Amino acid sequence: MINMPTIGAGTFRLQGQTAIDSVANALDLGYRHIDTAQIYGNEAEVGAALAASGVPRDEVFVTTKIWTEHLAGEALLPSLKESLRKLRLDQLDLTLIHWPSPNGAVPVAESMTALLEARELGLTRAIGVSNFTIPLMRQAIDAVGAANIATNQVELHPYLQNRKVAAFAREHGVKLTAYMPLAYGKVLDDAVIQAIASRLQATPAQVTLAWLLARGYTVIPSSTRRENLAGNLASNSLVLSPDDLAAIDALDRNERLVSPDFAPGWD
């Protein structure tokens, strides 16, 4: 199994110099896991920040995600090689299918087989999926085996706890990575989370991330502010009590914030 750091710096919506600065700050603060994607349009900026950081390549875990236009067998490998060129890397640590092919146009098995080939060619150390429902995870497992799926990256935060997907993934030994872990910042104003944060002399963001980490998830929050990046990283050392964890568990309300028109039928 690959060793994926449980806290990463996300780069969704970060463009140009903002993306470079965020990644540079993250690496300087001690982050060793950077998450990007083809559709983010910032792989070149992430690559520039990685190259300028001076951090040895083997110390940073870098993830990118294959966009839906490149999921066909003959398109996936060339698109991944282009991502590597932009990132100035010889190899990714993790490559994911970003979204399942809209309307099932490209079979899951075709994309997963191409991803597995990419791993065998040394273009990526590990492969996985993102935004996959239970039926789609089953297809991916049937195609390449659960042992070859490093993670399913899904929207996951106190208001959307994705429990059916989480239980299925756990049953098959597939890790979950939580994107949008702070629910676009909505959890920062939550009274329950604020009360726990106040008692522990922590921030609401730290409490939320500590809850996700305690539940066994990897988290990839993003920020353009150095102090927020530092605070998020410090959540790794925050310990919540069973009562705190249960109180946050109770906030689930199936509030999904990311559901484009091409999304699959959610569980």
The reply to whether 40 belongs to the active site is: yes
pLDDT at 245 over 80: yes
Q: Are 61 and 36 in contact (CB under 8 A)?
A: no
The per-residue pLDDT for range 213-229, each reduced to its tens digit, is 999 999 999 999 999 99
Buried/exposed code over 40-49 (b: 16+ C-beta within 10 A; e: otherwise): bebbbbbbbb
> Six-digit token pair at 191?
């009274």
Q: Residue 216 is encoded by which pair of tokens?
A: 């066994």
Structure token pair of residue 62 = 């870098």
Q: Domains in the chain, start-ordered, CATH in brackets?
A: 9-183+217-223 (3.20.20.100)
Single-letter residue type at 203: T
Amino acid at 193: I
Q: Which residue type sits at 135? A: P
pLDDT in tens, 175-195: 999 999 999 999 999 999 999
Q: How much is the pLDDT for 241? A: 98
pLDDT tops 90 at residue 231: yes
pLDDT band for position 137 (cuts 50, 70, 90): very high
CA–CA distance, 119 with 16 (Å, rounded to integer): 29
From the candidates 31, 40, 159, 217, give the one annotated as an active-site residue.
40
What local confidence, expressed as pLDDT, does residue 5 receive?
98
Q: Considering the chain, what percentage of its residues have pLDDT values greater than 70?
A: 100
CA atoms of 195 and 70, how far apart (whole Å): 45
Among residues 95, 164, 79, 156, the alpha carbon closest in space to that of 127 is found at 95
CB 20 within 8 A of CB 49: yes
> Quick one: which of 8, 74, 75, 11 has its CA closest to 37?
11
pLDDT tens readout for residues 68-114 = 999 999 999 999 999 999 999 999 999 999 999 999 999 999 999 99
Instruction: Find tokens 């059916």 and name the residue.
Output: 164
Structural element, H or E, at residue 115:
helix 108-120
**Amino acid at residue number 138:** R
Mean pLDDT of the chain: 98
Note the pLDDT of residue 1. Answer: 66
| pLDDT tens digits along 21-72 | 999 999 999 999 999 999 999 999 999 999 999 999 999 999 999 999 999 9
**Phi/psi of residue 177, each to 5°?**
-110, 130
Model pLDDT, residue 179: 98
**Cα–Cα distance for residue pair 34/55, rounded to 1 Å:** 12
Contacts of 125 (CB under 8 A, 6+ apart): 2, 91, 92, 93, 94, 119
> Which CA distances in Å does 157 have to 138, 140, 197?
23, 24, 16
Compute the half-sphere exposure of residue 106: CA atoms within 13 Å on the CB side of its CA: 20
The answer to whether residues 264 and 238 touch, using CB atoms and an 8 Å cutoff, is: no
Contact 53, 36 (CB under 8 A): no
**Exposure on the CB side of residue 184, measured as CA atoms within 13 A:** 6
Strand partners, 9: 34
Q: What is the pTM of this model?
A: 0.97
